[in-house]
Each structure stands twice: as structure tokens, then as C-alpha cells.
Amino acid sequence: MSLLSSNIKINLGSIRERMQDAATRAGRNVGDIRLVAVTKYMPAEYVQAAMSAGQHCFGENTLQDALGKQALLHNPLNEWHFIGHLQSNKAKSIPENFAWLHTLDSLKLASKLSAGATRSQRTLNVLLQVNIADDPDKFGLPAASVYAFVEDLLGAGLYGIRLRGLMAIGRRNDSPEATRANFAALRELGEACAARFDARHFSELSMGMSNDFEIAIAEGATMIRVGSSIFGQRPTAAPDYS
């Protein structure tokens, strides 16, 4: 085993142990929490090392970077999540290449995703990105507009996109108490949406990253997005796959 593979295996083991401990403290089953390994700009060999350590759920932020890696990494167990801000002109390629999109925040984007799903005859699981902390540096819907957005989205009858829950990014450098309050608010909003729209499948909460995923688990996260704690410092640009 190479040093790279060994380090990534050790790091994944540490994250999984911390997930288990956090779930136990919260009285939850760790099997209900999906670890999304964030591979933005990481070379394909890093992803392959994670796959060799049993990790098959990966999160990508840019379409070009993701497609380059997917072309090199063929494994039917892999589940790809698009977790970055998405321009609507690139949306049609998402359903055929990803199982999940975490960052839906406009009806225009939803329509483009539906067109891609229709073309590829796929169904895409989607999460609404909510700017739960009212952070001017973050994308996402204001919390106050989520009910109206869900109503409009469901009323549009768009084919091929399945609304599954909410996603948020914690505010950088917030205190643990503020982070916990924001994650709790997202959970409560998700529960309220599920009740309001009688949507039993509206149950996913994507929240928590390397520095705050244990707080997120305590507040009900069903997906955590962890990159640097697994792979180390991220490159500043995508590898060249040409």
C-alpha cells in the first residue's frame, strides 16, 4: 500500500470513528448518516485511494473536474453528488452523471435539471440550498422563502427531479453555539416542510463539513460533506485530464 493510500485510509477511519461517537452521543444510528467525501480538485488517484478504503460516495463542486475523474474511475458502487453552485447552462448534464444535487436554489435551474433528466431518462435527487445563516457570502434561498419555493416547485410538475430535503453551509468562523443554532433551524425547517407538504421522502439534511460535522450530526444531519480531513489540503485548480 502506498503512503497516499495508507494516509487516506487512516483519515477515513478516523472520520468514521468520530461519526460513530457523535451519533452515539445523539442517540442516533450512524448508518443513517452518509459520508460524502468532497473531492473538489483532488487528483483521481486520491479518489481511487478512498475507493480502496471502502468510500464510494463522493461530492464534486465543478462539472468539468467531476467528469474528468468519472471517466477514469469506473465502479458501479460509486455515488456522485454535485455540491457546488451550478450555472443553469450546465444543468442538463447533471442527471446523467450524478445521483444527487445539493444546491437547487431557483426554478430556472430546476427546469434545466428536469430537461436533462428527461433526455437521459434518469431521476435526480435534489436538495434545496438554504442560506440559513443569512450569510452574504453564501448562495441559497432565504429561509423565509422556502415554503413558497417548495410550493412552486411541486406545482410545476417537473419530470425527473425528486425533492428530498435541505442543504446548508455553516458560516465561516461562527462559534459552536451559533453553528448549532443554524443547524437546528435547518432541521426544524425540513421537518416543517415535510409536514406542510405531506412529503415523507423530504427527510435529508446535508450539513456539516470537516470543522463542524459532529455538531451537524447532533442536530440531525443525514449527510456530511468532508474533504480536507480526508484528503489534506486542496489544490487551487483542477488537474488536467486532457
Which among 170, 104, 172, 188 is positioned nearest to 132, based on CA atoms?
Answer: 170
Beta bridge partners of 124: 161
The more confidently predicted of residues 2 and 50 is: 50
From 63, 34, 58, select the one nearest 46 (Cα to Cα): 58
- Please, what is the end-to-end C-alpha distance for the chain in angstroms? 28
Query: Of how many residues is the chain composed?
Result: 242
- Which homologous superfamily does the CATH classification assign to the domain defined by 3-230? Alanine racemase (3.20.20.10)
**How many angstroms separate the CA atoms of 206 and 169, rounded?**
9
Q: What is the pLDDT of residues 181-224, one digit of tens each?
A: 999 999 999 999 999 998 888 999 999 999 999 999 999 999 99
User: What residues does each domain of the chain span?
Assistant: 3-230
Report the alpha-carbon distance of residue 223 to residue 216 in Å, rounded: 9
Q: What is the pLDDT of residues 46-97, one digit of tens each?
A: 999 999 999 999 999 999 999 999 999 989 999 999 999 998 889 999 999 9
Describe the chain by its helix, strand, coil percentages, rounded to 5. Answer: 45, 15, 40
| CA 138/CA 105 separation, integer angstroms | 12
> What average pLDDT does the chain have?
94
Q: pLDDT tier at 103 (50, 70, 90 boundaries)?
A: very high
